[in-house]
Structure 1
């Protein structure tokens, strides 16, 4: 294991973190809030540490082999989370370090769960830092690193695949052109989303913050009421539009813009159709039972379902008041997630499609044993290894969710809260189910031990489980 290959880019990432911290420092300084010094001092210390590491290892050649690749991705997310938590801990919020780490990991993994209350009265620096964390996490720490750090471009495709679930097979020959297009798309979505929110009636500050929560599918807001702060139907449809776009494969959107052949077309159709069907089902269950005209109820049902299925976590009101059927739908929707190669978390649409295709092929073979029937995805046969990989991932995903839920119950959580907390952390969704961590609650009342575990489970979920769990395997550290 070449640890220097990991430590050098981590040092440079610390400098990047420090530079980002200057933005909330400036916001607090302009607002006259004393927390500007916390951000500035933290940025100075982190920047100095990063500069010393970079200077000590500068000029050394390194190459990312598979083990260094996995170790770097894990280290990058952990270091960014530990460093990003310092301003939350040192500010006037009164958070424990476990809560500060939870808030940071929740932002970076675009989960959107929070331990902070009274958001409407928080200083602008804290609100902006929360939003920046999820905006950075949405595009991915590794993507930013590949863009800014030339050394990471060696093996960049493997780094990107671990972080995003996008097995892109080098669509542009090298990783740099793809990352450049990816960043351009992300910036374009961000610009148009912020502009749409602003023109629809948000303040400039809120438009920027809600934009970051939308395009990153993170869900952090500047109000305890989340999106219910802006309940107008046209505002919610702006959110629906950009959450759906951000839940689609970015490679698909890039190819649409370039008018090129698109292998993700089937995944996107399934994603849109499934989302529309679930939204309409929830609308039918509440129409006439919840106050509001049909279009408003359809808008709120669609917004909340899109928010959950894209793992954004915004809430337009407390949908847990819509009855047991709606609660059950929202809970199971939490497992789905968006498309591969998007900012969304969750199980991912393409895995659901492959599983359904495998089940369909198995049933056809049972009915026609003499026929050769293969599962297909995107019009091509699914290789046995791919189907096997999805099946193994499904078992691992379920076992990890159930294992963490069991631990949370052992630590004192009730069954509903434990199950909901586990899946919302692992799928990077945000609010859970129940009075404690539901859309009207926060995670602030949970014990610090649970808070630490949930934060690490968020990172595991963001790294597609295998990317995070592998480093705990003895095979990873073995020299043979």
Structure 2
């Protein structure tokens, strides 16, 4: 294991973190809040440490082999989470370190769960740092690193594939042109989203924050009421539109803009159709039981379902008040997730499609055992390796969710909160089920042990489980 190949880019990433921290420092300085010194001092220390590491290892030649690749991605997310937690811990909001680490991990993984209360009264630097963490995490630490650090372009496609569920990591021959297009699309979506929010009635500060947490499908807000602060149907439909665009493959959007053939078309159709069907089902369930006009109910039902399916985590209403059937729908919707290669987390639509195709194939073979029938995806046969990977991931996903839920119950959580907390962390969704962590609740009442485990589970979920769990395997560290 060549640890220098991991440590050198980590040092350079620390410099990038320090530069990002100057933005909330400036926001607090303009507002006259003393936390500007916390951000500025932390940025200075991280920048110096990163510069010293870079200087000490400068000129070293390294190559990312599979082991170094996996270790670097895990180390990058852990180091960024720990470094990003420092301002939360040292600021005046009074978080202990486990809470600060939880808030940072929730931001970077675009989960959106929070332990901070009284968001409407928090200083602008803290609010901006939360949103900025989600915006960075949405596009991915490694993607930003590949763009800014030339050394990471060696093996960049492997790094990108581990961090993202987008396996078509070299659609343009090399990873750099794809990353450039990806960043341009992300910036364009961010610009138009922020502008739309501002024109619809948000303040400039709120528009910037919600822009970052919408296109990243993160869900942090500047208010405890989340998007419920804005009663405008127009505002919610703007959010719906940009959450959906951020929940479909970015490569699909790039190819649409370039008028090129699109391999993700079937996945996008399935995603939009499934989301629309679930939204309409919730609308039918609450229509006539909630005192609002049908269009407003349809808007709220669609907004909250899209928010959960895309793993954004915004809430316009406390949908726990909409009845047990709706609660059950939201709970199972938490498992779905967005498309591969998007900013959304979760199980992912393409895996659901492959599993459905595999089940259909088994049923057809049972009826016609002599016929040659293969599972298909996007019109082409699914290779045995891909099908095996999806099946293994499905078992691992279920086992990890159940295992963490069992641990949370052992640590004192009731079964409803434990199950909900486990899946919302692993799928990077945000709010859970129940009075404690539901859409009107907060994760602050949970113990430090539980919050640390949830933060760890969020990072595992963001790295698609296997990328995170592999480093704990003895085979990973063996010399063979």
Q: TM-score, normalised by structure 1?
A: 1.00
Q: Distance in 1 between matches of 2:101 and 2:420?
A: 20
Query: 1:165, 1:215 → 2: CA distance?
Result: 17
Matched, 1:56 2:56: yes
The answer to whether the 8 A contact 2:108-2:137 is kept is: yes
SS of residue paired to 1:314:
coil
1:347 aligned residue: 347
Please say if residues 421 and 432 of structure 2, whose CA atoms lie closer than 8 Å, have aligned partners that are also in contact.
yes
Q: Secondary structure at the match of 2:12?
A: helix
Indicate the residue corresponding to 1:120 in structure 2. 120
Please give the alpha-carbon distance, in whole angstroms, between the structure 1 residues aligned to 2:355 and 2:184: 33
Q: Name the SS for the 2:439 alignment partner.
A: coil
Residue 284 of structure 1 pairs with residue 275 of structure 2: no
Partner of 2:436: 436
Aligned to 2:373: 373
Moved runs in structure 1, 4+ residues, more than 6 A? none
Distance in 1 (CA, whole Å) between partners of 2:464 and 2:107 is: 17
Rounded to whole Å, the distance in 1 between the matches of 2:167 and 2:31 is: 44
Show CA shifts across 1:48-79 (max 9, x none).
00000000000111000000000000000000
Residue in 2 that maps onto 1:190: 190
Q: How do 1:383-422 and structure 2 match up within 5 A?
A: 383-422=383-422
- Inter-partner Cα distance in structure 1 for 2:399 and 2:384: 22
- Tell me what 2:67 maps to: 67
In structure 1, distance between residues paired with 2:472 and 2:3: 16
Q: What are the ranges of 5 or more consecutive residues in structure 2 without an aligned counterpart?
A: none
In the alignment, structure 1 residue 356 sits paired with structure 2 residue 356: yes
Q: Distance in 1 between matches of 2:258 and 2:478?
A: 45
Alignment deviations for residues 355-398 of structure 1 (CA, whole Å, 9 cap, x no partner) = 00000011011111111100000110001111111011000000
Map 1:40-439 to 2 at 5 A: 40-439=40-439
CA–CA separation in structure 2 for the residues paired with 1:169 and 1:336? 23
Cα 1:169/1:219, change in 2 over 3 Å:
closer
Q: Aligned with 1:95: secondary structure?
A: coil
The answer to whether the 8 A contact 2:227-2:314 is kept is: yes
C-alpha distance after superposition, 1:184-238 (max 9, x if no partner): 0000000000000000000000000011110000000000000001121000000
The structural deviation recorded for 1:135 is: 0.2
3-state SS in 2 of match to 1:256: helix
Distance 1:205 1:238 in 2: 17
1:464 is aligned to: 464
Alpha-carbon distance in structure 1 between the residues aligned to 2:291 and 2:114:
29
Structure 1: how far apart are the matches of 2:228 and 2:126?
A: 21
Q: Distance in 1 between matches of 2:219 and 2:63?
A: 36
User: 1 CA distance for matches of 2:159 and 2:463?
Assistant: 11
Q: CA RMSD in A?
A: 0.4
* Partners of 2:95 and 2:198 in 1: CA distance: 32
Q: Is the 8 A contact 2:118 2:223 kept in 1?
A: yes
In structure 2, the residue matched to 1:38 is 38
How many equivalent pairs are there?
480
Distance, in Å, in 2 between the alignment partners of 1:245 and 1:457 is 26
Q: Say if 2:169 and 2:175, in contact at 8 Å, map to a contact too.
A: no
- Of 166-175 and 342-351, more deviation after overlay is shown by 166-175
Distance 2:130 2:23 in 1: 12
Q: Which residue pairs with 1:453 in the alignment?
A: 453
How far 1:169 sits from its partner (Å)? 4.8
Deviation string, structure 1 residues 71-103 (Cα, Å, up to 9, x no partner)? 000000000000000000000011110000000
Separation in 2, partners of 1:42, 1:389: 42
Q: Is 1:27 matched with 2:12?
A: no
Shift of 1:170: 1.2
Q: How far apart, CA to CA, are the structure 2 residues paired with 1:444 and 1:150?
A: 40
Q: SS of the counterpart of 1:289?
A: coil
SS of corresponding position for 1:172: coil
Partner SS state of residue 262, structure 2: coil
Give secondary structure in 2 for the equivalent of 1:325. Answer: helix
CA distance in 2, matches of 1:231, 1:86: 35
SS at match of 1:408: helix
Structure 1: runs of 5+ lacking an equivalent: none
With the length of structure 2 as denominator, give the TM-score of the two structures: 1.00
